[in-house]
Amino acid sequence: MKYENEMKIEFSSKSQNESFARVVIASFVAQLDPTLEELSDIKTAVSEAVTNAIIHGYEEYDGQVYMYCKITDNKVYIEIKDFGKGIGDIDKAREPLFTSKPELERSGMGFTVMETFMDEVEVESKVGVGSKIIMRKKLESLEKL
């Protein structure tokens, strides 16, 4: 019997909510009893995606950030969506160390961190419409059960 659960939240694009988003995803994924490392991986990736939506998507003006998470057995599927600026050149944005905001001291490592800590990262974006980051992770610790 497949185990399934899902949740959806939206919050305003304030940097204070980065911490909130991490807590939400961690408490939702916790029901799968992941290892601390798997949980930290997911928290870090979500933190990067949410931060990107806030600083790049909305460029710190007001907007809503949407987080959706679906659990299927030991697989975690996360979507982080915004209706902000959109990404012009997605390949360039995903390049390690590339940042369109060096003045904000951004390291350009956001996508690299997401790709390192999650199994798959997809980016859908349209300039002037918004962006959607899709991340998937399989919790290996539960494979053996």
Active site residues per annotation: 48, 52, 106
| Chain residues 62-101 in contact with another protein, contact rule CB under 8 A | 96-97
Closest distance to another protein from the beta carbon of 99 (Å): 9
- Asked whether the beta carbons of 75 and 26 are under 8 A apart, the reply is no
Helices and strands, number each (H, E), in the chain? 4, 5
Interface residue with another protein, options 1, 2, 16, 144 (CB under 8 A): 16
As a whole number of angstroms, the distance between CA 88 and CA 98 comes to 14
141 binds another protein, rule: CB under 8 A:
no
What are the backbone angles phi and psi of residue 110, rounded to the nearest 5°?
-55, -55
Strand ranges inside 25-114, DSSP E:
64-72, 75-82
110 binds another protein, rule: CB under 8 A:
yes
107 binds another protein, rule: CB under 8 A:
yes
Contacts with another protein by CB under 8 A lie at: 15-16, 18-19, 22, 37, 40, 43-44, 47-48, 51, 54-55, 96-97, 104-107, 109-110, 112-113, 116
